[in-house]
Structure 1
Amino acid sequence: MISLPYGHGIKVYLYDYDFNFEPNDVSTAYDELQIFRDIACSEADRERTFVGNLSATSLIHLPSHWACIKFIRRTLQNIQHTGFSLSYEVIDANSDCGVNKTTRLLSEEGYIFSPGYSISSYPQDLECTWLVESQPGSTIAVTFLDFQLSYTYSCDFAADYVQIGNSNTSYAFKYCDSDSPQPFQTRDNRLWVFFKSGQWRHRGFWLYYKGSGDSIDLDRPSSDYWKTGSAKYGWTRDDDTGGTSFVGWSRDPNKKGPFKKSDGGSIHLSYRFILAEVIVAVTSLLTIRN
């Protein structure tokens, strides 16, 4: 599990994976990597599943300060499959909301989501305003990772909607209902986001922003990412099933202050450490340094 203080989200980079599979008389057994947005690995909160192999990097956004990463070994033999390698970053996440209040965000990277997301529907009669300010001379790239507001036949008359733009007096775009907002790039270092709800409730929205105009699709860990933490791993025999759990954690005792966006850890798992029919749970713990 990855457990962080409230107000943070998690980005997971799966750099490559190579998992075994074995056909039999009835079906095919697949080794599998599962990523969840909670700490209980509950099926309702499973975000992604990986089987087979892929040499490219996959980026998984998690709208939660919790995560569970589980590897399941179902095959009996393995000769050449190598396992997986991943890392994660901690970034800011904000859903603060209040009438006649603007929430100012100064982080270069983060998530904004409607109040209650992703645990419950957003409340009624909200007016939320966020102002993201990046470094002078930079721009801000935005992508919506999820969007589902209450039904309306026209955005012109929508009770629930999101507006986004460079100014809070003339927003560039307005989205409602089940729109699919396209990626947005600001003209300067300021981004305004406004959300209003009426008498209905729905799942809400979740967006990701990053300063300096970097492409969302080509997002990679920051250049100082590998310098900010160290990873240690060990084996325990304390899980409920009597199996073997792989435990990892990442701390930097020399770093002061609260979390930075480059905090995180890395995990590498090789088949040679795993016996058949063993479920491996990856556990990571980050703490705020004093």
Structure 2
Amino acid sequence: MMAMRDLVICVVIYFCLAEGLARCSRSRPSKACGRTMSAYRGSIRSPGFPNPYPPALRETDQECKWIINLPYGHGIKLTFSGYDLNDETNDVGSEIYDELQVFRDGSCDESQRQRSLIGMLEGELVIYIPHKTACIKFIRRTLNNKIHGGFSLTYEVVDANSKCGGNNTVMVTSQEGYIYSPGYPTASYPPYLNCTWMVEVQPDQTLDVSFLDFQLSYTYSCDFAPDFVEIGNSNRTYEYKYCDQDVPETFLSRGNRVWVHFRTGQWRNRGFWLYYKAVGEPTAADQPNPNYRQEEGRGKQYPGATNEAPQDKQDGSNSYQQFVESPGFSLSPMSPVIVLTVVMTKFCETVLYL
């Protein structure tokens, strides 16, 4: 009886191994190579990271696209922890290279391409997107990558505000975010605007303001310019006035408030886009809720928000661990076969298909 049971177990193990190897050898699109992401924070990595990424087995796998489509907020911040992309020389002596492209919307249209990354970069790289949608495209053109580890990035939503309050100041109280002129970047700003924003953070913090884009109508003198941006620590006396197309220097506030004033005449242009960030850590009681966004000085919590930031589920969840730790689980004579089958399945899905 024991011999018969052992024979049955051996036969089952043989077929399980055969099926597992067959699944691993099939060619199919990689789960890790492109998807749509809707959580307002997450991570994107090249297939197999941090190990060298495999070449594209088929032409249809040559381009991997990650679409970030955030339900909340209006801006995205991408943070790369370096990248290492392959390049090689083909049979005719031409150099080909793998490339990482970043688009400022979800269509991946060439007109919206913001950055192209090739080669290698050590250290951190931050790219700002003025929309709640973005596209990350990874193009694998080379065929023999053996040492290049690819890339890893994280993204998060940041607050953004382009509302012009007219005679009323628009209050902004988030720890970091964007302010841009009405219509930016898809349309020119309207004529005869008078907009004021006041950014306020915790009393023990200051503000670092950097202009990411600045295109106002041409003028021969900033003193008489109809279109200008003013910035300062008070709305009574602005420290700086900017016009034309000269990108302003970074502004560091003396206190916890910054005022931004934008006025236009009859002409139009693309406008401006700035990024602000609080400097210094708030106290524990002042830590911002990631679901909480301030608008016009009043707290606004989005429908369905919870205390935990939603995360996109990662491929290859530990189903075997959940299975083993489930209540009432006990080993049986067939348990090794079950365990082996689960291990082979997860191995194929999470390692070889990366």
Structure 2 length-normalised TM:
0.61
Once the two structures are TM-superposed, the CA of residue 213 in structure 1 deviates from its matched residue by 5.2
Q: For the residues of structure 2 that align with 1:127 and 1:28, how far apart are their CA atoms? A: 52
Code of the residue aligned with 1:123 in structure 2: it is: P
Q: For the residues of structure 2 that align with 1:70 and 1:46, how far apart are their CA atoms? A: 10
Equivalent position to 1:96, from 149, 163, 187: 163
Query: Are the structure 2 counterparts of residues 80 and 157 from structure 1 closer, same or farther at C-alpha, using a change threshold of 3 Å?
Result: same
Q: Which has the higher helix share?
A: 2
**Map 1:125-140 → 2, pairs under 5 A:** 125-140=192-207
Once the two structures are TM-superposed, the CA of residue 79 in structure 1 deviates from its matched residue by 1.2
Maintained 8 Å contact 1:163/1:194: yes
1:176 counterpart = 2:257: no
Match of residue 196 from structure 1: 263
Equivalent position to 1:48, from 103, 115, 118: 115
Maintained 8 Å contact 1:143/1:209: yes
Aligned length: 230
Once the two structures are TM-superposed, the CA of residue 202 in structure 1 deviates from its matched residue by 0.4
Maintained 8 Å contact 2:204/2:280: no
Asked which structure has the greater RCO (Cα within 8 Å, sep 6+), the reply is: 1
1:13 counterpart = 2:79: yes
Q: Deviations over 1:128-158 (max 9, x none)?
A: 1001111012111111111110000001100
Match of residue 232 from structure 1: 313
SS in 1 for 2:313: strand
Q: Which has the higher strand share?
A: 1
Query: Are the structure 2 counterparts of residues 104 and 212 from structure 1 closer, same or farther at C-alpha, using a change threshold of 3 Å?
Result: same
Structure 1's unaligned 5+ residue stretches are 215-221, 236-269, 275-290
Match of residue 137 from structure 2: 70
Match of residue 89 from structure 2: 23
Q: For the residues of structure 1 that align with 2:351 and 2:111, how far apart are their CA atoms? A: 28
Structure 1 length-normalised TM:
0.74
Match of residue 181 from structure 2: 114
Q: Deviations over 1:3-60 (max 9, x none)?
A: 1247421110111211111112252111111110110101111111111111211110
Q: Deviations over 1:100-138 (max 9, x none)?
A: 111000101110000111111111111110011110121
Code of the residue aligned with 1:128 in structure 2: it is: C
Maintained 8 Å contact 2:213/2:274: yes
Q: For the residues of structure 1 that align with 2:71 and 2:180, how far apart are their CA atoms? A: 17
From the CA coordinates, give the structure whose radius of gyration is larger.
Answer: 2
Equivalent position to 1:167, from 219, 234, 245: 234
Q: Please provide the CA RMSD for this pair.
A: 2.3
Maintained 8 Å contact 2:196/2:259: yes
SS in 2 for 1:107: coil
Equivalent position to 1:4, from 63, 70, 88: 70
Once the two structures are TM-superposed, the CA of residue 212 in structure 1 deviates from its matched residue by 2.5
SS in 1 for 2:148: coil
Code of the residue aligned with 1:232 in structure 2: it is: K
Code of the residue aligned with 1:56 in structure 2: it is: G
Identity, % of aligned pairs?
57
